[in-house]
Amino acid sequence: MTSQIYSQKKFVPTPPEKGSFPLDHEGLCKKQFLLYASCLRKNAQDTSQCRQDAQNYLACRMDNNLMEKTEWSKLGFHDQSTKTDQKEPEVQKQ
């Protein structure tokens, strides 16, 4: 009892940095979610292998106003930003 009393730590929950995700009621990003889920299943749940699909899902949310637009580097996608830049000229060409 004494050790429990003295070693009891107070857990102070910190809110998430960017708040709460808006709900995707209409399933706008369902496709990207399924792609990400299948990628995890293929790579034995290793998230490092599926960062591109995660970025695609977040990009879909940003495009559909389900997430605040932020720089990719501030979300931890450093190496992916060049790929995104590479994709842009293709879009422009189309």
Partner 1 sequence: MMRSLCALRGQCQQLFRSSIRPQNSVHKSQQFWRMKSTDSPEDAARKLRAKSTLYYITAGGVLIVGLSYAAVPLYSIFCQAYSYGGTTTQGHDAEKVEHMKKIEDRVLKIRFNADIGSSMRWNFKPQQYEIKVAPGETALAFYTARNPTDKPVIGISTYNVIPFEAGAYFNKIQCFCFEEQQLNPHEEVDMPVFFYIDPEITADPALETCDTITLSYTFFEAKEGLKLNFPSYAKPHAASA
- Contacting positions for partner 1 (CB under 8 A): 9, 11, 13-21, 23-25, 27, 29-30, 33, 36-37, 40, 44-48, 51, 54, 57-58, 67, 70-71, 73-78
54 within 8 A of 34, measured Cβ to Cβ: no
Q: How far is the CB of 47 from partner 1 (least distance, A)?
A: 4
Q: Compare residues 3 and 48 and give the one whose CB is closer to partner 1.
A: 48
Q: Compare residues 17 and 88 and give the one whose CB is closer to partner 1.
A: 17
Burial of 57 (C-beta count, 10 Å sphere; 0-12/13-18/19+):
buried
Number of other CB atoms surrounding residue 32 within 10 Å: 18
